[in-house]
Amino acid sequence: MSSIIQLLPDHVANQIAAGEVVQRPASVVKELLENAVDANATDIKLIIKDAGKALIQVIDNGKGMSVTDARLCFERHATSKIRLAEDLFSLNTKGFRGEALASIAAIAHVEMKTKQEPDELGTQIIIEGSKVISQEVAVLPRGTSFAVKNLFFNIPARRNFLKSDTVEYRHIMDEFHRVALAHPTIGFAFYHNGSEMFNLPASSLRQRIVAVFAGKTNEKLVPVQEETDIMSIQGFVGKPEFAKKSRGEQFFFVNDRFIKSGYLHHAVMAAYDGVLKEGAQPSYFLYLKVPANTIDINIHPTKTEIKFDDEHALYAILRASIKHSLGQFNVAPVLDFDRDANLDTPYSYKDLKGETPTIQIDRSFNPFREDSPNKHYAGGSGAGSYSKNAPAAASWESLYVGLESDGATENALHEMSFESEAVTGSLFNDQEVEQSVHNAYQIHKKYIVSPIKSGMVIVDQQRAHQRVLYEQFLTNMTLQQASSQQLLFPLELYFSAIEMELIQELKLSLINTGFVFEQTAADHVVISGTPVNVTESEVSLVLEQLLSDLQDGIPESSFSQNDTIAKSMAKSLAVKTGTALTIKEQENLVNGLFACKDPNVSPFQKPTFITMRVEDIDKKFAL
| Residue 482, pLDDT score | 77
Please state, as a whole number, how many other Cβ atoms lie within 10 Å of the Cβ of residue 56: 26
Residue 337 inside a domain? The answer is no
Give percent of the chain above pLDDT 70.
76
| Residue 301, pLDDT score | 58
| Pairwise CA distance, residues 471 & 468, whole Å | 6
When mean pLDDT is compared over 92-96, 198-202, 512-516, the highest value belongs to: 198-202
- What is Dmax (Cα atoms) for the chain? 135
CB 502 within 8 A of CB 554: yes
Q: What's the rounded mean pLDDT across residues 165-181? A: 89
Residue 426 inside a domain? The answer is no
Residue 483 inside a domain? The answer is yes
> Are 144 and 240 found together in one domain?
no
Dihedral pair phi/psi, residue 7, rounded to 5°: -80, 140
Residue 333 inside a domain? The answer is no
> Are 155 and 263 found together in one domain?
no
Model confidence at 286, pLDDT cuts 50, 70, 90, reads very high
The yes-or-no verdict on residue 341 having pLDDT over 70 is: no
Q: Which of 509, 506, 508, 516 is nearest to 484 (CA)?
A: 516
Burial class (CB in 10 A: 0-12, 13-18, 19+), 276: middle
Residue 300 inside a domain? The answer is yes
What is the domain-level CATH number for residue 162? 3.30.565.10
| Residue 208, pLDDT score | 92
Q: In 574-602, which ranges are continuous DSSP H helix?
A: 583-594
Domain containing residue 107: 10-200
> Are 369 and 232 found together in one domain?
no
> Are 189 and 264 found together in one domain?
no
Instruction: State pLDDT tens for residues 549-608.
Output: 776 666 666 667 788 888 888 988 899 888 888 888 888 898 899 899 989 999 999 999
> Are 165 and 226 found together in one domain?
no
The vertex-161 CA angle with 157 and 163, nearest 5°, equals 150
| Pairwise CA distance, residues 465 & 468, whole Å | 5
CB 113 within 8 A of CB 28: no
Residue 351 inside a domain? The answer is no
Burial 108-141 (b: 16+ CB within 10 A, else e): bbbbbbbbbeeeeebbbbbbbbbeeeeeeeeebe
Query: Which is more confident, 170 or 376?
Result: 170
Q: Which of 119, 121, 67, 125 is nearest to 101 (CA)?
A: 125
Please state, as a whole number, how many other Cβ atoms lie within 10 Å of the Cβ of residue 214: 18
> Are 137 and 254 found together in one domain?
no
| Residue 552, pLDDT score | 60
Instruction: State pLDDT tens for residues 411-440.
Output: 555 565 555 555 444 444 444 333 434 477
| Pairwise CA distance, residues 569 & 572, whole Å | 5
| Pairwise CA distance, residues 346 & 384, whole Å | 33
The yes-or-no verdict on residue 18 having pLDDT over 90 is: no
Burial class (CB in 10 A: 0-12, 13-18, 19+), 272: buried
Q: What's the rounded mean pLDDT across residues 53-57? A: 93
Burial class (CB in 10 A: 0-12, 13-18, 19+), 612: middle
CB 603 within 8 A of CB 467: yes
Burial 293-313 (b: 16+ CB within 10 A, else e): eebebeeeeebeebebeeeee
Instruction: Flag the least confident range among 221-230, 394-403, 474-483, 514-523.
Output: 394-403
| Residue 437, pLDDT score | 41
| Pairwise CA distance, residues 474 & 481, whole Å | 11
The yes-or-no verdict on residue 306 having pLDDT over 90 is: no
Instruction: Flag the least confident range among 286-290, 308-312, 340-344.
Output: 340-344
> Are 31 and 100 found together in one domain?
yes
Q: What's the rounded mean pLDDT across residues 283-310? A: 77
What is the domain-level CATH number for residue 262? 3.30.230.10
Judge if pTM exceeds 0.85. no
Report DSSP letters for 26-66, one per residue: HHHHHHHHHHHHHTT-SEEEEEEEGGGTSEEEEEE-S----
The yes-or-no verdict on residue 338 having pLDDT over 80 is: no
Kindly state the DSSP code that residue 461 receives in the 8-state scheme.
H
> Are 50 and 114 found together in one domain?
yes
CB 534 within 8 A of CB 542: yes
Model confidence at 399, pLDDT cuts 50, 70, 90, reads low
| Pairwise CA distance, residues 64 & 84, whole Å | 24
Q: How far separated are the first and last CA of the chain, in Å rounded? A: 74
CB 329 within 8 A of CB 236: no
> Of the candidates 396, 421, 449, which is a domain's last residue?
396
Residue 621 inside a domain? The answer is no
Give percent of the chain above pLDDT 90.
24
> Are 133 and 15 found together in one domain?
yes
Model confidence at 280, pLDDT cuts 50, 70, 90, reads confident
The yes-or-no verdict on residue 543 having pLDDT over 60 is: yes
> Of the candidates 396, 425, 456, which is a domain's last residue?
396
Residue 620 inside a domain? The answer is no
Query: Which is more confident, 212 or 98?
Result: 212
> Are 193 and 241 found together in one domain?
no
Q: What's the rounded mean pLDDT across residues 387-402? A: 54
CB 177 within 8 A of CB 212: yes
Query: Which is more confident, 319 or 558?
Result: 319
Model confidence at 90, pLDDT cuts 50, 70, 90, reads low
The yes-or-no verdict on residue 474 having pLDDT over 60 is: yes
**Number of domains comprising the chain:** 4
What angle do the packed helices 461-479 and 497-513 form, to 10 degrees? 80
| Residue 172, pLDDT score | 92
What is the domain-level CATH number for residue 507? 3.30.1370.100
| Residue 346, pLDDT score | 61
| Residue 608, pLDDT score | 92
| Pairwise CA distance, residues 298 & 108, whole Å | 26
| C-alpha distances in Å from residue 173, one per residue of 24, 53, 370 | 13, 14, 87
| Residue 287, pLDDT score | 93
